[in-house]
Structure 1
Amino acid sequence: MPPSSTTRSTGDFRADRRYEYARAAFDERDFEAAADLARQVLELAPDFAAAHAMLGRALAELGTREEAVYALRRALVLEPEDALGVRLDLARLGALAPDEAITQGYVRALFDDYAPKFDQHLTKGLAYRGPALIADALRRACSERSRDCRFGLTLDLGCGTGLMAQALDGSCSSFEGVDLSPGMLEKAEKTKLYDALHEGELVSFLSGRANAEADLVVAADVFVYMAALDATFREAHRVLKREGLLAFTVQTHEGEGFILGADARYAHSEAYLRDLAEVVGFKVVIFERVSTREDRGVPVPGFMCVLQR
């Protein structure tokens, strides 16, 4: 289901109430009732994108693919930034390429909605440990090279609420973060650990930075919302100083390239990551299997990577 804050209001009390009933029916897996209620909403408010999305999702669960795709595409026409995340549904139905499934609008809405409960849910509910794994890997990487584990300018991609800055507190002389979500940035600001915070997409952010200005670029569980990583790797390589480090975590799969998983996140293969690092000009320092979080109590497979320019 989409972030609740994206549904907004039809301006019609009856339609809004029926939509909430539809959401409840869907959550209870009564998909016939959810579809029927969504149709009732659309009789009252024909251009309510969330109801078209609800109808499409319910019909998909009922196995009515063509009608589901039609409803979802209608929702996308009405909400082209896709804060509702219907591109994910279309990709699951084979009506959209997997690498087009996740948009900036969807990620922004998802994390704006998630921001108030993010830290507690992630670290306690999902046993999330991405920042701690990255901090430990950086200490080991520096120890192996007999260098002090201290850095100058550090760029935190997809900084979220600031968990990465907390894990590296005291290790970086200057720390800047970028995130799509204003809600997340508001939380990050409260940590007082960032010298600057930027709202925007991370490749565009990197593209605006100077050559060879950073000692470290970190990305904790950010690439799971990105398909191809070519542009990110190239720009990170460009902004890093000689022997600067790129440290990140990803989810992985045993096939080739990258795939869109059932959890609505991208998983990247070992071969894809290693080949891309070599093509861009990175040297692999650490590349090891880890799990940064759990899904229903089961560790999600991934990699912890530290690359050197």
Structure 2
Amino acid sequence: MVSASLSSGDVLADRRAAYAKMLSEEGQFAEAAELMEQALELAPDWRAGWFQLGEYREKAGQTDGAIGAYARVAEDGGEDIFGARLKLALLGAAEVPASPESTYAESLFDDYADRFEKALTEKLGYDLPALLANRVATHGGGAPHFAVAVDIGCGTGLAGPEIRPFADRLEGFDISLNMLAKAREKGVYDYLDRADLSLKTDESGLFAPGLPHHRADLVLAADVMMYLGDLEAVFALTAALAKPAGLFAFSVEAAEEGYILQPSLRYAHSKTHVEALFARHGFDERFCERVTLRMDGGKPVFGFVFIAERRA
């Protein structure tokens, strides 16, 4: 849902949008859409409002109207911070993009940073960082040692305290500056910086001066791949980060084949798809386990935890 901070700039339009939100929270989506239409008559260039209208229409079963609203957002030439193109793909009005625009993930997590950990750990039963660290420790004989561990897509740093006991140096990277600020508060990372995992190696931000290629004994990506879609870029980055015999530990949401875009606007990946990426990017699979990643709407979200080793 669109952040309430994205005002139309028109007081009356914002007021009608607020009433529409109240109606939507009561499940009156058609009525909410009608009020949102009135708000947009007052503020016709309000992109956040058009996206919100799309969501109300979609929930009201007005698919064609939802497509029209999302298309208005997607076609105006601005950055797609709302994920309108993802919505259009799910409604069958566009091809599934190989990955979302970086500005979408950045905006999503900048807005989510303050409530991220509470939502995951208290409401969704999320303990993936601890699970990944446990599997890495087991694979490493119980007490592994990494001169350099790199947490890509580190978010607020939930994995940091879990990996810190094994690492002499712990680096964290994320696309969201607000997430990085939360990670910095934990005081467990030796280095934190912004990086875009969808970009080419030397453009990504992972290899700033003093951060050489092939420096990592462990690359960790907890709950990251589902926001990237096509994983070719991130596997290429990891191959450039990892030392020979370095480990790559990560999770994906489970798909039957290939990779798919889900109604959650996250991507799921199949085991065979990941294994093909291992082969292309010089990794050997060492461990795979099907797990429950978290709960969503009271239902388990299944995925895979992988550990792979970079070939010498």
CA 1:28–1:87 in 2, change beyond 3 Å: closer, same or farther? Answer: farther
Q: Which residue of 230, 233, 246 corresponds with 2:232?
A: 230
What's the offset of the Cα at 1:182?
1.5
Matched, 1:53 2:45: no
- The CA RMSD over aligned residues, in Å, is 1.9
Whether the 8 Å contact between 1:49 and 1:79 is mirrored in structure 2 is no
Separation (CA, whole Å) in 2 of partners of 1:27 and 1:85: 21
Q: How does 1:59-208 map to 2 (within 5 A)?
A: 59-78=57-76, 80-100=78-98, 102-143=100-141, 149-203=144-198, 204-206=204-206
CA distance in 2, matches of 1:104, 1:23: 27
Q: Is the 8 A contact 1:234 1:280 kept in 2?
A: yes
* Structure 2: distance between partners of 1:294 and 1:25: 27
The alpha carbon displacement at 1:14 in A equals: 0.8
Mapping of residues 191-270 of structure 1, within 5 Å: 191-203=186-198, 204-206=204-206, 210-253=212-255, 255-270=256-271
Structure 2, unaligned stretches of length 5 or more? 199-203
**Could you tell which deviates more after superposition, 51-60 or 158-167?**
51-60
* 8 Å contact from structure 1 (residues 291, 301) kept in 2: yes
Any idea what SS the aligned residue of 1:118 has?
helix
**Deviation (angstroms), 1:114:** 1.7
Compute the displacement of 1:87 (Å): 2.3
Q: Determine the C-alpha separation between the residues in 2 that align with 1:295 and 1:10.
A: 31
In the superposition, the TM-score normalised over structure 2's length comes to: 0.90
Rounded to whole Å, the distance in 1 between the matches of 2:87 and 2:131 is 32
Q: 2:159 is matched by which residue type in structure 1?
A: M
Sequence identity percentage:
39
Letter in 2 for 1:58: Y
Contact 1:285 1:306 in 2 (8 A): yes
Task: Write the distance in 1 (CA, Å) between the matches of 2:278 and 2:3.
Answer: 34
CA 1:25–1:85 in structure 2 vs 1: closer, same or farther (change >3 Å)? farther
Matches within 5 A, 1:285-304: 285-304=286-305
Q: Offset at 1:78?
A: 4.5
Distance in 1, matches of 2:228 and 2:207, equals 17
Q: Could you tell me how far apart the structure 1 residues matched to 2:225 and 2:145 are?
A: 24
Uncovered stretches (5+) of structure 1, i.e. residues with no partner? none
Query: What TM-score does the superposition give when structure 1 sets the normalisation length?
Result: 0.91
Structure 1 residue 143, shift from structure 2 partner: 1.2
**Partner Cα distance (2:8, 2:77) in 1:** 14
1:47 shift after superposition = 0.6
Stretch moving more, 115-124 or 204-213: 204-213
Q: Distance in 2 between matches of 1:94 and 1:27?
A: 26
Aligned length: 303
Q: Which residue identity does 2:283 align to in structure 1? A: F
